[in-house]
Amino acid sequence: MTSQIPATLFADPVSEERLERTAAALKSHGFVVEILDDGAAARARVQELVPEGSSVYTSASETTRLSGIEQDINTSGRYEALKPVVVAMDRVTQSHDIRKLLAAPDVVIGSVAAVTETGSMLVASASGSQLPPYSGGAGLAIWVVGAQKVVPDLETAMRRLEEHTFPLENTRAQGVYGKPSAMNRLLILNAEPVPGRGIVLLLREAIGF
């Protein structure tokens, strides 16, 4: 049965009860889950989780940008930050090297479009660059997820993506890249088979898209 959540409510943080239910479901699927207050707490926790000197890819994410996590990784000098390297590379002549570089970093950090109370996460991508490290290529994957992204099930997760997340991302992409975004590739993370590899920092505040 399709959830009747109004699209406008996809921006509202859910209750503590629903956060706890979501965390329990994710844990039962092999993810490590921590419930934190806000982006500032996630920023501090990421610094504890990521070993200094690691190769780290920060995928495009308003959540990590607004929380300061992206800046910490890519400008602090504490890590082998891959995004600045890739940005400086030629997309045509070095596409093969870019693809290999991003496919298997030590750590990937980003977010998701939605997380379900049944323990799954939905990711959408125009280029697909974050999907290999998310799905298994990275040694450690960290997802920072605002409380507004919690939905009952995957059907509602798709609604949230199509009606809320994508329009916002499309506007952002046109402003930053001068061209529209697209839902070219979708990834559903149903479980994490490698113990300790997938970490979800579930926030009590609404942050990002």
Token pair, residue 3, equals 């959830």
Q: What pLDDT was estimated at residue 143?
A: 98
Position 2 scores a pLDDT of 46
DSSP-derived letter for residue 204 is S
- Rounded average pLDDT over 35-47: 98
Every domain of the chain and the residues it spans: 12-203
Q: Which are the contacts of 112, defined by CB distance < 8 A and separation ≥ 6?
A: 121, 122, 123, 143, 145, 149, 189
Within its chain, how far is the Cα of 131 from the centroid?
A: 10
Question: What's the chain's average pLDDT?
Answer: 95
**For residue 133, which of 169, 165, 101 has the smallest C-alpha distance?**
101
pLDDT at 9: 78
Q: What confidence category does residue 5 fall into, taking pLDDT thresholds of 50, 70 and 90? A: low
Residues 6+ apart with CB under 8 A from 4: none
- What per-residue confidence (pLDDT) applies to 91? 87
Mean per-residue pLDDT for 66-82? Answer: 97
Q: Are strands 55-58 and 80-81 parallel, antiparallel or unpaired?
A: parallel
Confidence check: pLDDT of 1 > 60: no
> In whole angstroms, what is the distance from residue 189 CA to residue 110 CA?
14
Domain spanning 12-203, CATH architecture: 3-Layer(aba) Sandwich (3.40)
pLDDT digits (tens, 9 = 90+) for 7-28: 567 999 999 999 999 999 999 9
pLDDT, tens digit, for every residue of 110-129? 999 999 999 999 999 999 99
